[in-house]
């Protein structure tokens, strides 16, 4: 996630309170005040008072009650680290920022950053630029992409087909399914829906036959039509695989599946549904194609042209109730599973042949 390398900044728009991953090295703080010590003349015979241990700036936090309550819950729940409290200068906003950064880093942040360009936000509302806040005392942990990661599947599919005819379909189903449990993956099923929609649009045109639609069916390997194996059967099969590359892929896939199932994705409450009623579906966090420039990529690029015409729903929303320490603890535990799932997917993509170009270069 971009936030594992960058700093979590505090954004305030009117009465909006939002902790969001910021693409900058440091947060923009208040203008620094020259200390009294710097204004004093050099010492002479009389020793003047020194102010070395006096903070150079203060923040008045009377309107940040939710942030203060969250910081307290994080500390009491053993989610936040005591040393971060001192590191933050005893500032609740900075403390929450440091805690969220540490939490992501400790649950696979480095691996996530290799492949995924994601933001994590802690906000009191679900829709940017909206005046509608969530229920009082509720904050939302939100995961969303800055851009979609990219994976090429053909080489891995060809490798696995040599082992078992049903292994490619099994690999695809569990790889995409494990990620879809937490974030949106754009694959050939989405592309097929796009083609169906285009055909509906064109069928009423006088020259409908002149329109061409992407040949999605033609780019899908036939072996994916096979019935997938269950996870139990896949686990048994993995013990018999001797080809080193294929064995590593299957083992990594099984790890991804087990991790993804460690927690349940939070469902939409009625309040959340009302806030997102006018939103489009979430943006994809991963594009799963068979080759560069195939029909799946074409459909994805076509949809991307209009993706932001209406505000999309977030990919993952984890409500946190500040008055309930159990809710705070559960929310961060759920985020940890989502992070570890993305990290496991990133490690699996690293093992797939033909995906050397998908690594994201990060500035040090």
Confidence of residue 299 (pLDDT cuts 50, 70, 90): very high
Cα four-point dihedral sign 354, 344, 256, 216: negative
More confident residue, 350 or 129: 350
Angle at CA of residue 61, ends 57 and 66, nearest 5°:
140
Q: Which of 253-262, 316-325, 346-355 has the lowest mean pLDDT?
A: 316-325
Confidence (pLDDT) at 37: 39
Confidence (pLDDT) at 289: 98
CB 148 within 8 A of CB 186: yes
Query: Mean pLDDT score of the chain, rounded to an integer?
Result: 83
Average pLDDT on 136-156 reads: 95
Confidence of residue 133 (pLDDT cuts 50, 70, 90): confident
Confidence (pLDDT) at 6: 33
Q: Which of 73-77, 152-156, 205-209, 266-270 has the lowest mean pLDDT?
A: 205-209
Confidence (pLDDT) at 2: 52
**What's phi and psi for 251, nearest 5 deg?**
-60, -45
Query: Residue 74: which of 331, 343, 339 has the closest Cα?
Result: 331
Alpha carbon 1 to its chain's center: 6
Whole-number Å distance between alpha carbons of 290 and 303 = 18
Average pLDDT on 268-273 reads: 86
Contacts of 25 (CB under 8 A, 6+ apart): 6, 7
Average pLDDT on 82-91 reads: 91
Confidence of residue 187 (pLDDT cuts 50, 70, 90): very high
Report the chain's terminal Cα–Cα distance, integer Å.
Answer: 15
CB 299 within 8 A of CB 108: no
Confidence (pLDDT) at 226: 97
User: Quick count: other Cβ atoms within 10 Å of Cβ 323?
Assistant: 11
The H or E element containing residue 238 is helix 231-238
Q: Which of 42-56, 72-86, 302-316 has the lowest mean pLDDT?
A: 42-56
Contacts of 155 (CB under 8 A, 6+ apart): 352, 353, 354
User: Is residue 237 pLDDT above 70, yes or no?
Assistant: yes
Whole-number Å distance between alpha carbons of 208 and 279 = 31
Average pLDDT on 95-123 reads: 95
Cα four-point dihedral sign 74, 79, 83, 87: negative
Contacts of 29 (CB under 8 A, 6+ apart): 57
Q: Which residue has the tokens 């699996």?
A: 348
Whole-number Å distance between alpha carbons of 142 and 335 = 9
CA distances from 171 to 209, 293, 340 (A): 37, 22, 19
Confidence (pLDDT) at 202: 79
Each residue of 19-57: pLDDT tens digit?
433 222 333 333 333 333 333 334 444 444 444 555 544
Average pLDDT on 265-285 reads: 90
């Amino acid at each position: 996630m971009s936030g594992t390398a960058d700093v979590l900044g505090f954004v305030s728009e009117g009465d909006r309170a939002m902790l969001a991953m910021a693409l900058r090295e440091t947060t923009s703080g208040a203008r620094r005040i020259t200390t009294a010590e710097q204004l004093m003349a050099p010492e002479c015979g009389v020793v003047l008072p020194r102010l070395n241990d006096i903070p150079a700036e203060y923040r008045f936090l009377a309107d940040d009650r939710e942030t203060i309550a969250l910081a307290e819950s994080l500390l009491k729940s053993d989610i936040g680290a005591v040393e971060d409290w001192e590191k933050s200068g005893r500032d609740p906003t900075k403390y929450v920022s440091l805690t969220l950064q540490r939490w992501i880093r400790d649950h696979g942040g480095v691996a996530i950053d290799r492949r995924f360009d994601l933001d994590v936000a802690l906000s009191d509302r679900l829709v940017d630029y909206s005046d509608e806040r969530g229920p009082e005392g509720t904050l939302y942990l939100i995961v969303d992409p800055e851009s979609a990661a990219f994976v090429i599947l053909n080489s891995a599919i060809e490798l696995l087909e040599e082992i078992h005819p049903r292994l490619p379909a099994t690999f695809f189903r569990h790889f995409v399914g494990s990620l879809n449990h937490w974030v949106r993956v754009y694959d050939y099923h989405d592309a097929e829906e796009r083609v169906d929609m285009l055909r509906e649009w064109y069928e009423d045109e006088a020259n409908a036959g002149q329109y061409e639609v992407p040949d999605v069916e033609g780019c899908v390997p036939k072996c994916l039509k096979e019935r997938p194996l269950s996870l139990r059967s896949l686990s048994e099969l993995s013990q018999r695989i001797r080809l080193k590359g294929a064995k590593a892929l299957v083992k990594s896939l099984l790890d991804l599946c087990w991790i993804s199932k460690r927690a349940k994705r939070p469902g939409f409450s009625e309040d959340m549904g009302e806030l997102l009623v006018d939103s489009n579906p979430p943006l994809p966090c991963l594009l799963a194609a068979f080759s560069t420039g195939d029909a799946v990529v074409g459909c994805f690029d076509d949809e991307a042209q209009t993706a932001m015409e209406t505000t999309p729903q977030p990919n993952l929303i984890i409500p946190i109730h500040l008055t309930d320490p159990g809710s705070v603890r559960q929310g961060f535990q759920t985020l940890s599973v989502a992070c570890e799932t993305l990290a496991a997917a990133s490690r699996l993509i690293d093992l797939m042949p033909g995906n050397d170009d998908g690594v994201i270069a990060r500035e040090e």
